[in-house]
Amino acid sequence: MQPVDSKKQKLGLTDLLSIVGEASDNGLDLRTFALKTVMLASRPDTEFMNLGNSVFIIVDGGNRVGNIIVYNADTNENFIENYSKALDAAYMLGFDEVFTDFQESFLPFYEGFFDVYGGDGFGSEIQLLEDNTYRALMRLGPDREGERDGQT
């Protein structure tokens, strides 16, 4: 996949999903991939962010925990900036923790990202899952009481 620098050219959502869908190994045709992504982003238990040429969908798992699904067509430098903004926004939206699953090829990104991103109360951990994929767990800030905006 050839990244598109969002500081020079901002992609529309259809173009971004086409680039990501072509580069992914999900076995879906582009139309199905785009439709499933839009359907997921439209669910009432999700938050959707399009930052630069990156898309972040956070599925609310209750107890202030979210599963963050990431699609990126931006440059590495911009992606780090976009991801930082998405995590900051997730905390402001009421999530105390998020996690994301990823392939081994993204391991260097997450290890490097966690070296530079962080703030008060931030913590991270990378786990190897049984299917040989990885999970990044991120504590976004200090714990807060109650549910996220009344959601479960």
pLDDT band at 29 (very low <50, low <70, confident <90, very high): confident
Q: What is the pLDDT of residue 152?
A: 43
| Alpha carbon distance, N-terminus to C-terminus of the chain | 37
Residue indicated by tokens 């931030």: 122
Strand partners of residue 51: 54
Q: Which of 77, 26, 81 is nearest to 49 (CA)?
A: 81
Q: What is the pLDDT of residues 50-73, one digit of tens each?
A: 999 999 999 999 999 999 999 999
Strand partners of residue 70: 56
pLDDT band at 151 (very low <50, low <70, confident <90, very high): low
E strand or H helix at 17: helix 13-23
Cα–Cα distance measured from residue 1 to residue 140, given in angstroms and rounded to the nearest whole number: 30
Against a cut of 0.75, is the pTM above it?
yes
Q: Which two tokens stand for residue 58?
A: 């956070």
- Maximal CA-CA distance, the chain: 43
Q: Which two tokens stand for residue 25?
A: 């190994």
Domains defined along the chain, listed by start: 13-150 (3.40.630.30)
Q: Tell me the average pLDDT across 111-127.
A: 88
Cα–Cα distance measured from residue 110 to residue 16, given in angstroms and rounded to the nearest whole number: 21
Q: How many CB atoms lie within 10 A of CB 78?
A: 21
Cα–Cα distance measured from residue 75 to residue 7, given in angstroms and rounded to the nearest whole number: 9
Q: Tell me the average pLDDT across 27-51.
A: 89
Q: Which two tokens stand for residue 57?
A: 């969908």
- For 125-131, which contacts have Cβ atoms below 8 Å and span 24 or more sequence positions? 129/101
Least confident of 28-32, 70-74, 93-97: 28-32
Q: Is residue 37 over pLDDT 80?
A: yes
